[in-house]
Chains A and B, each alone.
Chain A
Amino acid sequence: MLPSDELTRTQALMRACIQCGTCSASCPNEFAMDATPRQLWRMLLLGRTDDIFNSRTFALCSDCYCCTLRCPRGLPATEAMEALKRMAAAGESDRYRRHHAFYKSFLKGVRRRGRVNETELMGTYFLRLRSPLAPLRFLPLGLKLTLKGKVSPMPPLKRRTPLDALFGRVAELEEGR
């Protein structure tokens, strides 16, 4: 889907927003956002994409669905947040480098072996971040999990269920639209 189509589709999801702010009041991450969810929907409907993608708001959505549950207009606000995350990812904006790096590493592993291997995921993520200090933050937990025998320092060599065909077909269908 072209980004502009996705923008139109996302605007349609939130078209009936009445700016009541129930979403902002319900959001557990609102304290860390520069624009509140309510403000974000206004920016969305006005097409102010620069303001949207310069804000941290949608990236801080943790998919708890409280706003979706409580919206008095019954709007799928969490789904709209997801759409904004996808548009930001397609635009490769530098601001969300960490998020993109994580999601890309995740899907790369799923495509290769069908399931996520947590050691491989964090390894690919750290390589993508290209920051030598990034792994240090997670080192104590990694060691703990290794000592508990829950993760292995090396991912298995065997690729159980490669999903190249499925990923390929999804890409084909999306390009054809």
Chain B
Amino acid sequence: MNYQYYPGCSLEGTAAEYNRSTVALMAALESELLEIEGWSCCGASAATASSRLLSLALPARNLALAERNEALSDILVPCSACYLNLKRVEETLKSDPGGQVELNQVLEAEALQIQGRKRVRHLLDVLSRDVGPEDISKKRKKRLGPLRVAPYYGCQCLRPYAVFDDPEKPRSMEALIEATGAVVHDWHMGAKCCGASHITTEMDVGLKLVAGILKDARGADAIVTVCPMCQMNLEAYQGKIARQAKEPLAVTVLYLPQLLGLCLGMSLEDLGIDKNLSVTDAFLQRLT
């Protein structure tokens, strides 16, 4: 299946490797991604905290751009925060005709119109339900046999809209991890919050939340994420947290398409793994 593609701002910067690995993996799975031309920021949590209308108008602009393409009905979104913001507009259009009128008044200023004809899909939704673990194991070139992998879902791809997985006890990543030949690390933190932007504005609180996740990941060779903010929080502060906790907590954190790409035989560079901040030597040794 082919998709319209909304990468989001992080994937042009600090999450460049998420973009690279998503594009490379989908190409290897023979799925075409068509980037939405002229896409703009979804508003993240900043718009929600300043104006409700703006927090709907910013993602609505992107859905309106996507509606100009009649052929592709689904929009693939790798970032969980972008996904939630875009999804909220999709849901608003379904349930609130007054909201649609108001959004069209805003979009008129951009010479755009929105009807609600597109479906917003998270990358994990697409990988677990459209692609599926069978396809991954069929195309597998390298068994990631000795690896033990902790699936980290975070929040906003699961909640508040429970579209493709159980929002309390998600499991959609497990079959995908097993399809690579790796073992799933059994843990409790897969759907717990990483603190999101607390790391910038309330650093001590954010570090505590991340510490809890890293501690429960002990014994895993890698944590796998599906969100640039989770990824950054889990990998960028490991040294600081380990010093505070006075115990070693270094663990490799990969994006899900990076892990899947490895088992399809793609190189570290093809998948941007050289750009990750947390890849340990021990992990690289276990890969070879």
Contacts and interface: CB of A to CB of B under 8 A. Distances in A.
Contacts of B39: 115
A166 B9 contact: no
A106 interface: yes
Nearest to A84: B49
A165 B13 contact: no
Interface residues of A, number: 55
B70 interface: no
Contacts, number: 165
A107 interface: yes
Interface stretch (A14-22, A35-43, A45-53, A61-69): A61-69
A151 interface: yes
Interface string A138-164: 100100110011110000000001010
B50 A103 contact: yes
Nearest to B12: A115
Interface string B29-69: 00000000011110111111111111001100100000000
A102 B40 CA distance: 19
B105 A173 contact: yes
A66 B275 contact: no
Contacts of A104: 50
A28 interface: yes
B197 interface: yes
A107 B50 contact: yes
B49 A86 contact: yes
Nearest to A168: B109
Given A62-B196, A63-B156, A163-B40, A99 B53 contact: no
Contacts of A165: 109-110
B106 A60 contact: no
Interface string A117-137: 111000001000000000001
Contacts of A85: 48-49
B14 A110 contact: no
B205 A29 contact: yes
Nearest to A6: B52
A99 B45 CA distance: 11
A59 B53 CA distance: 20
Nearest to A109: B41
A128 to B, nearest CB: 12
Contacts of B198: 29, 60, 62
A64 B190 CA distance: 13
A107 B57 CA distance: 13
B192 interface: yes
B102 interface: yes
A121 B200 CA distance: 12
Contacts of B107: 166
A141 B206 CA distance: 15
A165 B54 CA distance: 12
Interface of B: 9-10, 12-17, 38-41, 43-54, 57-58, 61, 102, 105-110, 155-156, 159-160, 162, 167-168, 192-193, 195-198, 200-205, 208-209, 236-237, 275, 277
Given A68-B159, A99-B49, A161-B38, 5 more contacts: A106-B44, A115-B41, A118-B10, A118-B14, A170-B57
